Amino acid sequence: MSERRASRREHWDRYWDARPLEEIYPAVGEPWRELLRWRDAAGARVLEVGAGSGRDSLELARRGAAVTVLDYSEPALRTVRRAWEPGLPLILVRGDARRLPFADGSFDLVFHQGLLEHFRDPAPVVAEHARVLAPGGVLLIDVPQRWHAYTAVKRLLIALDRWFAGWERSFSVRELEGLMAAAGLEVLGSYASWPEPSLAYRALRLALGRLGLRLPGHPRPLPLLGPAGARLRAALRYRRLGHYTGMVLGTVARRPGAPAP
């Protein structure tokens, strides 16, 4: 892999150090909601790999989960610590997503958003995350969707060595489901997600911010188009057509076997 076109720790240290928490948008589609379609959070042992802002883990902790968050970037872990609510259980671990420092079957729920696309060979990463699932445990992987305008722009920026993360790939829904199945997991379903607000609005807000002009992070939706768009996204979210139109897609899979009583 070219040193210029790789996703390295310094990219993420710089990214998380430079952004106040209030300026970081939540994960597109809120993966925690998808996990709760398949497993109750109460009493669940949860692992989030790749810390992000920690908001998804925080939502699961509010619902009674015991949460562990792993990342190899110390600034990312500090971001999670700033976002966390006092009194909620949290374990922060600095470690490598490819070699998790946990025993087999340690967790009931494992998930990550915006992580797998940074590995040239994703199969061993998926297998490692399946390893730490308990029987009956659920793995959710959320990644950029290949056939989206966002991906085309990202590829151009990577080619110009202007992408903030150095390098990343994208996936089709069949490829992601295939990776989960190859790791010995039972695929439960897939979903698509769209950014709210839109990418165009986010780009405009960022550009104007550099000029000293501030737009709200979450503008009010247009009276007619907002509800109509929400209904369309809801109709497409779990359909194959939606999986090829969303900005990101996710797949949820289960490790075979009955959960421990």
Spell out the domains of the chain, with CATH numbers in brackets: 9-195+247-254 (3.40.50.150)
Dist CA 215 CA 71 (whole Å): 31
Which residues in the chain land under pLDDT 50? 1-4
Dist CA 130 CA 139 (whole Å): 7
Contact 89, 95 (CB under 8 A): no
pLDDT for res 66 = 97
Residues 6+ apart with CB under 8 A from 254: 38, 136, 137, 138, 139, 185, 186, 188
pLDDT for res 158 = 77
pLDDT for res 33 = 93
pLDDT for res 249 = 95
Dist CA 113 CA 26 (whole Å): 11
pLDDT for res 30 = 85
pLDDT for res 43 = 95
Q: Which two tokens stand for residue 175?
A: 């490829």
pLDDT for res 201 = 66
pLDDT for res 2 = 42
pLDDT for res 224 = 52
pLDDT for res 5 = 55
What global pTM score does this model have? 0.86
